[in-house]
Structure 1
Amino acid sequence: MEYKTFLPHRDLELFINCYWTLIVPASIETTKQRIIPDGLIEMAFILGDDIKRYTSADEFIIQPRALVLGQTMEEFYIEPTGYVNTFSIRFYPYGFAHLVKTELNRLTDKETPLANLFPKNDADELENLIINARDTKHRIEIIESFLRSYISKPLVYDDLVKNTIDEIILSLGSKPIKAIIEDKVSLRRKLERKFLKYVGVSPKQLGRLIRFQAALKLVLSEDPESFTSIAHQFDYHDQSHFIKDFKDFTGLNPKEFLNNEHMKLSSIFYK
């Protein structure tokens, strides 16, 4: 399994967390992999064999080969049918909203074909260019050209959304939303509506995701701290609260997560 990440050009770093590639040779034995929420939106291109996404224990759909994975609040399973070769763009929470007019809560917890979000001719051309690109460097050049053509100019930020996201990230999700907006009820309702439109989840949900991901990195570190220490560091009420939150997002407690064969891919993504 070969997973690599690449930084975006500096004029896109406000929108994009990274580009990543994943290559896995075809194997006789394939294992379902559990994908866990991370608070980010992905645009992915499947360059290898088809990938199943399970909608229940036994039922699945075949993922679109050019797709956007919206915000997810629950874990889900995927399974390769053979050779895996994926190229993906990982957007910051507010990054993808600058490319489309679609309200992002409509994308939450599902994959949306690229052609449903951009003009079909543009989406089809982009997919063909990515498929036929020489290498990853060439794919990054192609996608960056595409993204620049769609990012609104002049760039318009919603200050309430941007400032709240900045506070959430700065505190690693530990600062309560009511503290960020000084407990103003009318402002909270406004913020909820704007977050669903521009981020895809509520401020509280994004805060939980950011805090969980920060804690997960410590769980996956080479020298992991005790769960009590992690809980304290990220302002969980106690270890039980931390474990409950962890289980809500992964379906497992931290001990079960480590070295779980269904979590190999998520462990690589978030270590």
Structure 2
Amino acid sequence: MKIHYKELINEVTIYFKPLGISQFLSDSKNIFSEGTILDFTFMPDFNDKMIEIFSLARDRQGQELENYLLSKLQIKKFSLIEKILEAIETDEKIEEIAQKHQISRQYLNKIFTKHIGKSPSEYRKIHRFRNSILKQKESKNFSELSQYDFYDQSHFIRSFKELTNRNPQIFFKNIDTEKENIWLFV
């Protein structure tokens, strides 16, 4: 996602792990069905509540946002999807995951996309990318880094370019991997 700022603004970033946003919505499939979230309304009172929170003193904003989100939390059980996510993150083959859970590969793809918003293979690519960012600090060079989750260095470079439109060398030159949330400024 590319975001352009025209002027300074007050903002907050809420980062959800897979299935996290689904704990706040009665039907999360609406987020993923349109292909874009530009017109997505997180919660009916969200914009008004954020205006209220931003009008508070800076030291109270975090606690008020947390209180608001906790008031909207709807704990749900996603045991099958959580097991599938775990298997995908350990690089288990999708066909094997489907067989293990006694579902077809097509059904696995359908329910995964419904809950995560990406196909299992797209999610796996993103997961490998995120892992490479975490492991970049420990690696001596890109050849070593590519050995963790990729078939070879060209697979690593190709995946990076698909997700960032940059090769890994330029990407890592423009981000701070020490931060919890990584932002690429272009």
Q: CA deviation at 1:107?
A: 6.0
Q: What residue number does 1:228 align with?
A: 143
Instruction: Give the Cα separation in 2 of the matches to 1:89 and 1:199.
Output: 17
Instruction: Give the Cα separation in 1 of the matches to 2:177 and 2:32.
Output: 23
Q: What residue number does 2:62 align with?
A: 140
Q: CA deviation at 1:238?
A: 1.1
Please tell me the residue identity of whatever aligns with 2:161.
K
Q: CA deviation at 1:249?
A: 0.4
**1:203 and 2:120 are equivalent in the alignment:** yes
Please tell me the residue identity of whatever aligns with 2:96.
A
Instruction: Give the Cα separation in 2 of the matches to 1:208 and 1:164.
Output: 15
Q: CA deviation at 1:161?
A: 0.6
Is the 1:130–1:142 contact (alpha carbons within 8 Å) kept by the matching residues of 2? yes
State the percentage of identical aligned residues.
21
Q: CA deviation at 1:129?
A: 2.0
Structure 2 CA distance for partners of 1:133 and 1:248, relative to 1, 3 Å: same
2:81 to 138, 150, 161: 161
Q: What residue number does 1:127 align with?
A: 50
Q: What residue number does 1:244 align with?
A: 158
Q: CA deviation at 1:102?
A: 3.7
Instruction: Give the Cα separation in 2 of the matches to 1:229 and 1:265.
Output: 20
Please tell me the residue identity of whatever aligns with 2:53.
I
Q: CA deviation at 1:213?
A: 0.9
Is the 2:175–2:182 contact (alpha carbons within 8 Å) kept by the matching residues of 1? no
Q: What residue number does 1:78 align with?
A: 3
Structure 2 CA distance for partners of 1:108 and 1:143, relative to 1, 3 Å: farther
Q: How far does the alpha carbon of each residue in 1:239-265 deviate from its partner, in whole angstroms, 9 at most, with x for none?
A: 111110011001111122233xxx447
Q: Classify the secondary structure of the residue corresponding to 2:11.
A: strand
Cα RMSD, aligned residues only = 2.8
Structure 2 CA distance for partners of 1:250 and 1:124, relative to 1, 3 Å: closer
Larger RCO (CA within 8 A; separation ≥ 6):
1
Please tell me the residue identity of whatever aligns with 2:140.
E
Is the 1:212–1:246 contact (alpha carbons within 8 Å) kept by the matching residues of 2? yes
**1:214 and 2:131 are equivalent in the alignment:** yes
Instruction: Give the Cα separation in 2 of the matches to 1:78 and 1:141.
Output: 26
1:13-162 equivalent positions in 2, closer than 5 A: 76-100=1-25, 101-103=27-29, 104-106=31-33, 108-113=35-40, 116-119=41-44, 122-135=45-58, 137-152=59-74, 155-162=75-82
Q: Which runs of 5+ in 1 are unaligned?
A: 1-75
Q: CA deviation at 1:142?
A: 1.9
Instruction: Give the Cα separation in 2 of the matches to 1:216 and 1:244.
Output: 15
Q: How far does the alpha carbon of each residue in 1:141-198 deviate from its partner, in whole angstroms, 9 at most, with x for none?
A: 222222222222xx331321111123334x2xx3332333347784322222222222
Q: What residue number does 1:270 align with?
A: 182
Instruction: Give the Cα separation in 1 of the matches to 2:176 and 2:53.
Output: 23
Please tell me the residue identity of whatever aligns with 1:195.
F
Structure 1 or 2: more strand by fraction = 1
Q: CA deviation at 1:218?
A: 3.0
Instruction: Give the Cα separation in 1 of the matches to 2:157 and 2:133.
Output: 11
Q: How many residue pairs end up in the alignment?
A: 180
Instruction: Give the Cα separation in 2 of the matches to 1:184 and 1:166.
Output: 13
Q: Which runs of 5+ in 2 are unaligned?
A: none
Instruction: Give the Cα separation in 2 of the matches to 1:129 and 1:204.
Output: 41
Structure 2 CA distance for partners of 1:88 and 1:126, relative to 1, 3 Å: same
Structure 1 or 2: more helix by fraction = 2
